[in-house]
Amino acid sequence: DGGITQSPKYLFRKEGQNVTLSCEQNLNHDAMYWYRQDPGQGLRLIYYSQIVNDFQKGDIAEGYSVSREKKESFPLTVTSAQKNPTAFYLCASNRGSGVYEQYFGPGTRLTVT
Amino acid sequence: EDKVVQSPLSLVVHEGDTVTLNCSYEVTNFRSLLWYKQEKKAPTFLFMLTSSGIEKKSGRLSSILDKKELFSILNITATQTGDSAVYLCAVWSGGSNYKLTFGKGTLLTVNP
Here the CATH number for the domain that contains residue B66 is: 2.60.40.10
- Which of B4, B48, B102 minimises the CB distance to A101? B48
Residues in chain B closer than 8 A to A107 (CB atoms):
41-42
Q: Do B102 and A44 touch (CB under 8 A)?
A: yes
Banded pLDDT at B89 (limits 50, 70, 90):
very high
Q: If you average pLDDT over every residue of chain A, what do you get?
A: 92
pLDDT greater than 90 at residue B79: yes
The lowest-confidence range among A63-67, B58-62, B91-95 is B91-95
B81 within domain boundaries? yes
Residues in chain A closer than 8 A to B65 (CB atoms):
none
- Domain span at residue B32? 3-105
Phi, psi for residue B30 in degrees, rounded to 5: -60, 140
Convert the pLDDT of each residue in A49-103 to its tens digit: 999 999 999 999 999 999 999 999 999 999 988 889 999 999 999 987 777 899 9
pLDDT greater than 80 at residue B76: yes
Half-sphere exposure of B9 (CA within 13 A, CB side): 5
| B44 touches B36 (CB < 8 A) | yes
Pairwise CA distance, residues A20 & A75, whole Å:
7
Share of chain A above pLDDT 90, in %: 78
Q: Say what the pLDDT of residue A1 is.
A: 60
Q: Which of B21, B2, B28 is nearest to B88 (CA)?
A: B21
Q: Do B42 and A106 touch (CB under 8 A)?
A: yes
Chain A nearest C-alpha distance from B77 (Å) = 24
Amino acid code (one letter) for B12: V
The full 3-state SS of chain B, as one line of letters, equals CCEEEEECCEEEEECCCCEEEEEEEECCCEEEEEEEEECCCCCEEEEEECCCCCCEEECCEEEEEECCCCEEEEEECCCCHHHCEEEEEEEEECCCCCEEEECCCEEEEEEC
- Provide the number of structural domains found in chain B: 1
CA A104 to chain CA mean position, Å: 10
**Beta-sheet pairing, A43-51 with A31-37:** antiparallel
B75 within domain boundaries? yes
What count of other Cβ atoms lies within 10 Å of the Cβ of residue A28? 10
Q: Say what the pLDDT of residue B99 is.
A: 84
Q: Scanning every residue of chain B, which has its alpha carbon at the shortest distance from the alpha carbon of A36?
A: B102
| A27 touches A96 (CB < 8 A) | no
Residues in chain B closer than 8 A to A41 (CB atoms):
104
pLDDT (mean) for B27-41: 92
Pairwise CA distance, residues A82 & B67, whole Å:
38
**Of chain B residues 41-100, which have a CB less than 8 A from chain A?**
41-45, 48, 50, 88, 90, 92, 97-100
B110 within domain boundaries? no
Q: Say what the pLDDT of residue A41 is.
A: 81
pLDDT (mean) for B55-60: 94
